[in-house]
């Protein structure tokens, strides 16, 4: 804004001061080393300041998150977003392997990693207000772009490469509805990279809520493994019971309740 104002003032001043005058002759000079140095150094200094300031901000939003940060994985594909949250047992996302991706295991979860066994998939992006959020972003096919306009978040989702973005939401959805006087207001995540004919459909609901509501929502979610018990066959037999406990398929004491049955594919 400062640069725009200064340039506009100078532009209009020169237009006025040096308008056509039949009694004035233009001054001509072949070259000026001082002028060349001046108009090289000034833009160089300005650009350097912008770049280093931008680099500082970039390092802040892509740097390591705090220990209390909520870590969420977002995966883009033609033409939808999917979100993966760490489960209740460890609050840590498990390992993934792109070679394990199939029609059901869309994240490529490595279920031999205990941290993956309680992870769950969400159809909405739930965020606790006032908490640091670290998004881990991937793409399965072509370039996509995570765009959360109300949070000033935009980061490309690149095939074969993980990108990250760190931010803190500070206004809940309900507060925004009051602030905007729009009872139907909703945050949303969109794709800001044209990715094909269905690009326009890549809209993902975002709910910002207080921490109590967030934890209540999270505790009601079922682990991915519990929803897809056939994938127990990918876990070594001697570790399946522990995996079932972590996935919430049996009580923490490891014993099945009366009348409850779980099929394990060997």
Phi, psi of 61, rounded to the nearest 5 degrees = -85, -15
Question: What's residue 172's pLDDT?
Answer: 95
Which two three-digit tokens encode residue 200?
């326009």
Q: Please provide residue 197's backbone torsions phi and psi, each rounded to the nearest 5 degrees.
A: -65, -30
How far is the C-alpha of 266 from the C-alpha of 263, rounded, in Å? 9
- Domain 70-224 of CATH type 3.40.50.2300: no
The domain limits of the chain are: 70-224
User: How would residue 252 be classed by pLDDT, with cut points 50, 70 and 90?
Assistant: low
- The token pair that represents 204 in the structure block: 């993902």
**76 preceded by cis ω (within 30°)?**
no
What lies within 8 Å, CB to CB, of 94 at 6+ separation is 86, 109, 110, 111, 113, 114, 115, 116, 117, 119
- pLDDT tens for 30-74 read 888 998 999 999 999 999 999 999 999 999 889 888 888 999 999
In angstroms, the CA 185 to CA 204 distance is: 14
Task: Look at residue 261 in the predicted model and tell me its pLDDT.
Answer: 47
Buried b (16+ CB within 10 A) or exposed e, 179-192: eeeeeeeebebbbb
Q: Residue 176: is its pLDDT beyond 50?
A: yes
User: What distances in angstroms separate CA 12 from CA 6, 8, 25, one per listed residue?
Assistant: 10, 6, 21
Are the C-beta atoms of 80 and 146 separated by less than 8 Å? no
pTM of the predicted model as reported, rounded to 2 decimal places: 0.77
């Amino acid at each position: 804004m400062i640069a725009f104002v200064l340039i506009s003032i100078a532009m209009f001043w020169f237009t006025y001061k040096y308008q056509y005058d039949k009694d004035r002759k233009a001054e001509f000079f072949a070259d000026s080393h001082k002028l060349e140095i001046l108009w090289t150094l000034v833009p160089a200094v300005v650009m350097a300041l912008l770049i280093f300031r931008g680099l500082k901000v970039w390092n802040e939003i892509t740097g390591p998150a705090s220990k209390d940060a909520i870590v969420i994985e977002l995966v883009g594909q033609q033409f939808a977003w999917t979100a993966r949250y760490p489960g209740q047992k460890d609050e840590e996302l498990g390992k993934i392997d792109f070679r394990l991706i199939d029609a059901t295991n869309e994240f490529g979860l490595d279920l031999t990693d205990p941290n993956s066994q309680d992870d769950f998939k969400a159809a909405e992006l739930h965020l606790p207000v006032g908490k640091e959020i670290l998004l881990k972003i991937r793409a399965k096919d072509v370039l996509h772009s995570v765009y959360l306009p109300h949070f000033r978040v935009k980061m490309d989702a690149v095939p074969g490469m993980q990108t990250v973005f760190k931010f803190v939401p500070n206004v809940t959805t309900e507060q925004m509805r009051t602030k905007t006087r729009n009872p139907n207001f909703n945050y949303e995540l969109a794709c800001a990279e044209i990715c094909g004919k269905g690009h326009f459909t890549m809209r993902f609901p975002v709910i910002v809520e207080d921490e109590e509501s967030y934890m209540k929502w999270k505790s009601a979610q079922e682990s991915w493994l519990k929803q897809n018990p056939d994938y127990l066959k990918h876990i070594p037999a001697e570790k399946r019971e522990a995996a079932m406990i972590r996935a919430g398929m049996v009580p923490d004491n490891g014993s099945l309740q009366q009348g409850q049955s779980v099929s394990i594919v060997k």
